[in-house]
Amino acid sequence: MFALVVRRFFQLLFLLLGISFLVFSSMYIAPGDPAAIIAGPTAAESDIEAIRDNLGLNEPFLAQYGRYLSNAVQGDLGYSYQTKQPVWEAIMIRFPNTLKLAIASMIVAVIIGIIAGLVSALRQNSLWDVSATTFALAGISIPNFWLGAVLILVFAVNLEWLPVGGLSSPWYTLDGVKELILPAITLGTASAAMIARMARSSMLEVIRADYVRTARAKGVKEGSVIWIHTLKNAMIPIITVIGLNFGFLLGGTIITEKVFAINGVGRLMIDAIAARDFPMVQGSVLLVAALFVIVNLAVDIIYTYIDPRISYD
Amino acid sequence: MKKLNKNWLVLFVLGFVVMLLAACGGSTIPEEAVTEASEEGVEAAEDVDQEIVYAATSDAVGLSPIMTNDSVSSNAISQIYETLFVRNPETMEIEPKLAESYETPDDKTWVIHLKEGITFQDGTPFNAEAVKYTFDKLRDPATAAPRASLLEPVESVNVIDENTVEIKTKYPYGPMLAALSHTNASIVSPTADQAQDLMQQPVGTGPFQFVEWTQGESLVLEDNPDYWGGAPELDKVTFKVVPEISTAISMLQTGEVDFIDGLPSDQIDRIRSLDNVEVLEKPGTPVYYLNFNFSKEMNQDPEFRKAVAAAINRDAFVENLNGLGVRSDSVIGPKVFGYTEEADNGGQAYDPELAKQLVEENGYGDQTIKMLVANRDNYMQMAEIAQAQLAEAGFDVAIETMEWGTFLDATAAGEYDLTFLGWSNVTGDGSELLYPNFHSDNIGASNRSQYSNPEFDELVNASRVTVDQDARKQALIEANQLLLDETATVVMNHGVVTAATADDVQGLKLDPNGQWFLENVTRE
**Residue A124 belongs to domain with CATH number:** 1.10.3720.10
pLDDT computed for residue A29 by the predictor = 86
The interface pTM score, or ipTM, of the predicted complex is: 0.84
Is the pLDDT at B109 greater than 90? The verdict is yes
Closest CA to B267 of B250, B288, B292: B250
Mean pLDDT value across residues B33-46:
41
Pick B4's closest partner by Cβ from A39, A51, A222.
A222
Q: How far is B73 from chain A (nearest CA, A)?
A: 11
- Whether residue A219 lies within 8 A of chain B, CB to CB, comes out as no
Distance from CA of A284 to the nearest CA of B (A): 15
Residue among B67, B251, B404 whose CB faces A164 most closely: B251
- The reported pLDDT for the residue numbered A313 is 67
Could you tell me if residue A259 is inside a domain? yes
Is pLDDT of B4 > 50?
A: no
Instruction: Render the burial of B418-438: b for 16+ CB within 10 Å, e for the rest.
Output: bbbbbbbbbbbbbbbbbbbbb
- Predicted confidence at residue B431, as pLDDT, reads 92
Q: Which residues of A, range 245-304, sit inside 8 Å of B by Cβ?
A: 258-261, 263, 267-268, 271, 274-276
Cα–Cα distance, B394 to B363 (Å, whole number): 9
Q: Tens digits of per-residue pLDDT, B244-296?
A: 999 999 999 999 999 999 999 989 999 999 999 999 999 999 999 999 999 99
> d(Cα B326, Cα B492) in Å, to the nearest integer?
9
A 88-107 → B contacts, CB under 8 A = 90, 93-94
pLDDT band at B311 (very low <50, low <70, confident <90, very high): very high
Does B501 have pLDDT greater than 70? yes
Which chain A residues are Cβ-neighbours of B445 within 8 angstroms? 44-45, 48
* Predicted confidence (pLDDT) at residue B15 exceeds the cutoff of 60: no
CB contact under 8 A, A41 and B58: no
Confidence band (pLDDT; 50, 70, 90) for B38?
Answer: very low
Instruction: State the pTM of this model.
Output: 0.85
Average pLDDT over every residue of B135-140:
94
User: What Rg do the C-alpha atoms of chain B give, in angstroms?
Assistant: 26
pLDDT at B149: 83
Mean pLDDT of chain B: 88
Could you tell me the CA-to-CA distances from A88 to A72, A253, B152 in Å, in that order?
11, 19, 36
Instruction: Examine residue A148 and state whether it is found in any structural domain, yes or no.
Output: yes
A292, A241, A232, A65: which is closest to A136 by C-alpha?
A: A241
For chain A, the domain total comes to: 1
Cα separation of A19 and B329, whole Å?
Answer: 51
In the CATH scheme, what architecture does the domain B284-495 have? Roll (3.10)
How many CB atoms within 10 Å of residue A270? 18
In A, which residues are within 8 Å of B256 by CB distance?
163-166
CATH of B51-59+204-282+497-523, one of 3.30.70.100, 3.40.190.10, 2.40.50.140, 3.40.50.720: 3.40.190.10
What domain range includes position A162? 92-263
**A226, closest residue in chain B (CA to CA):** B4
Statement: residue B45 has pLDDT above 70: no
Q: Does A163 reside within a domain?
A: yes
The candidate with the shortest Cα–Cα distance to B208, out of B219, B222, B187, B225, is B222
Contact yes or no for A223 and B446 at CB 8 A? no
Which pLDDT belongs to residue A254? 87
Q: Does A82 touch chain B (CB under 8 A)?
A: yes
- Which pLDDT band, with edges at 50, 70 and 90, does B167 fall under? very high
Q: Which of B28, B244, B408 sits opposite A259 (nearest CB)?
A: B244
Q: Which of residues 58-77 of A touch B (CB under 8 A)?
A: none
Among the partner residues B146, B244, B406, nearest to A31 by beta-carbon distance: B406
Q: How far apart are CA B285 and CA A285, in angstroms?
A: 40
Q: Coil, strand, or helix at residue B377?
A: coil
SS3 content of chain A, % helix, strand, coil (to 5): 75, 0, 25
Q: What pLDDT is stored for residue B43 in this prediction?
A: 42
Q: Does A127 touch chain B (CB under 8 A)?
A: no
Q: Where are the domains of chain B?
A: 6-46, 51-59+204-282+497-523, 78-195, 284-495
Contacts of B149 in chain A (CB under 8 A): 43-44, 46-47
Report residue B364's pLDDT band, with 50, 70 and 90 as the boundaries. Answer: very high
User: Taking the mean position of all CA atoms in its chain, how far away is CA B320?
Assistant: 22
Select from B3, B7, B8, B24 the residue whose CB has the most chain A CBs within 10 Å, as the one to mutate to test that interface.
B8
Interchain proximity B442–A45, CB inside 8 Å: yes
Query: What is the average pLDDT across B380-394?
Result: 93
Mean pLDDT, chain A, integer: 88
Q: How far is B274 from chain A (nearest CA, A)?
A: 12
Q: Which residues of A touch B426 (CB under 8 A)?
A: 42
Short-list A291, A36, A92, CA closest to B216:
A92
pLDDT category of residue B14 using cuts at 50, 70 and 90 = very low
Predicted local confidence at residue B25, as pLDDT: 36
Question: pLDDT truncated to tens, each residue of chain A (313 aa)?
Answer: 788 888 888 888 898 899 999 988 988 888 888 888 887 776 777 888 888 888 888 888 888 899 888 888 888 888 898 888 899 999 999 999 999 999 999 999 999 999 999 989 988 888 989 998 888 888 889 988 899 999 999 999 999 999 998 888 888 889 999 999 999 999 999 899 999 999 999 999 988 889 889 988 998 888 888 888 888 888 889 999 999 999 888 877 888 999 999 999 999 999 898 888 889 999 999 998 889 888 988 988 888 888 888 877 6
Provide the pLDDT for residue B16.
46
Question: Taking a contact as any Cβ pair under 8 Å apart, which residues of chain A between 136 and 195 contact chain B?
Answer: 149, 152-153, 155-157, 160-166, 168, 174, 177-178, 181
Residue range B62-86: mean pLDDT, rounded: 93
Measured in angstroms, the CA of B159 and the nearest CA of chain A are apart by: 26
On the 0-12 / 13-18 / 19+ scale of CB atoms within 10 A, B56 is buried
CB atoms within 10 A of CB A56: 11
Cβ of B216 within 8 Å of Cβ of A119? The answer is no
| Strand B516-517 relative to strand B509-510, pairing | antiparallel
> Over 90: is that where the pLDDT of B102 sits?
yes
Residues of B in contact with A226 (CB under 8 A): 4
Are A87 and A283 in contact by the 8 Å Cβ rule? The answer is: yes
Contact call for residues B241 and B56 (beta carbons, < 8 A): yes
Contacts of A84 in chain B (CB under 8 A): 62, 67, 197, 199
The residues, ordered by sequence, that sit 6+ positions from A310 with a Cβ below 8 Å of its Cβ are A303, A304
pLDDT at site B31: 38
Which chain B residue shows the shortest CA-CA distance from A269?
B216
**The pLDDT value given to residue A114:** 92
Do the Cβ atoms of B240 and A261 come within 8 Å? Answer: yes
Q: Is residue A201 part of a domain?
A: yes
H/E stretch holding A71 reads helix A61-73
Kindly determine whether residue B423 and residue A161, on different chains, have CB atoms separated by under 8 Å.
no
Q: Is residue B6's pLDDT more than 60?
A: no
pLDDT of residue B24: 38
Alpha-carbon gap, residue B416 to B393, rounded angstroms: 21
**pLDDT (tens digit per residue) in B179-194:** 999 999 999 999 999 9
CA distance B267 to B271: 6
* A118 interaction partners in chain B (CB closer than 8 Å): 8
Set of chain A residues whose Cβ sits within 8 Å of the Cβ of B431:
none
Contact B62/A48, CB-based, under 8 Å? no
Instruction: Tell if the CB–CB gap between B61 and A160 is shorter than 8 Å.
Output: no
Residue B408 is which amino acid?
L
Query: Is A274 inside any structural domain?
Result: no
Which of A43, A261, A271 is nearest residue B147 as measured by Cβ atoms?
A43
Strand partners, A137: none
Q: Which positions ≥6 away from B249 have C-beta within 8 Å? A: B260, B267, B270, B271, B274, B500
The third-level CATH classification (topology) of the domain covering B78-195 is: Dipeptide-binding Protein; domain 1 (3.90.76)
SS3 content of chain B, % helix, strand, coil (to 5): 40, 25, 40
Identify each DSSP E strand in B178-274 by its residue range: 208-214, 218-223, 236-241, 259-261
pLDDT-above-70 percentage for chain B? 91
Q: Which of A31, A40, A155 sits opposite B409 (nearest CB)?
A: A31
Average pLDDT over residues B479-503: 95
3-state secondary structure of B456: helix
Closest CA of chain B from A237, distance in Å: 23
- Does residue A8 form part of some domain? no
**Partners of residue B15 in chain A, C-beta under 8 Å:** 111, 115
Report if residue A305 sits inside a domain: no
Test B244 with A275 for CB contact under 8 angstroms.
no
Burial (CB count within 10 angstroms: exposed 0-12, middle 13-18, buried 19+), residue A65: middle
**Which pLDDT band, with edges at 50, 70 and 90, does B46 fall under?**
low
Is residue A248, in this structure, part of any structural domain at all? yes
Contact assessment for residue B254 and residue A160, using Cβ atoms and an 8 Å cutoff: yes
